[in-house]
Amino acid sequence: MELLKFNGQEPAAYPSSFMVTVLDLDDGESSVRTTDGKLNRDRIAVKRQIEMTWGPLRWAEISSILRSMEDVFFPVTYPDPMTGKYETKTFYVGNRPAPFAVARGNEIMWNGLKLTLTEQ
């Protein structure tokens, strides 16, 4: 089994940094503090956020990674620290900064692609 899949495909290169955050989503209107400071919380969902960073990538690699995430929502298979197993959930991607590193002839190298996936 591949460790990571975007849209059903293993990435062209694996990230150098990979962090999963478990997020609690609360109802903003019904989650309030009382006058004595006690929190009344209405959790509506538990979601995942995945942050990834890559080292140097060839042009074809970065292009493949970014194209695998071009849909509004897409499936991601990843190791989940809370469930203790591989999960496949639907995510969307935020900004995708891709710093230019160096050009060698016709080959452009990119270094430091960073992206954040958030569960739908």
Comparing 94 with 106, the larger pLDDT belongs to 94
User: How confident is the model over 84-94, as a mean pLDDT?
Assistant: 97
Q: What's the pLDDT at 33? A: 83
Q: Both ends of the chain: CA-CA distance in Å?
A: 24
- H or E stretch including 23? strand 17-26
Q: What's the pLDDT at 35? A: 85
**Residue holding tokens 């639907």?**
90
Comparing 22 with 29, the larger pLDDT belongs to 22
87 and 81 Cβ atoms separated by less than 8 Å:
no
pLDDT tens per residue, range 46-61: 999 999 999 999 999 9
Looking at the DSSP bridge assignments, the partners of residue 23 are 47
For residue 2, what pLDDT band results from cuts at 50, 70 and 90?
low
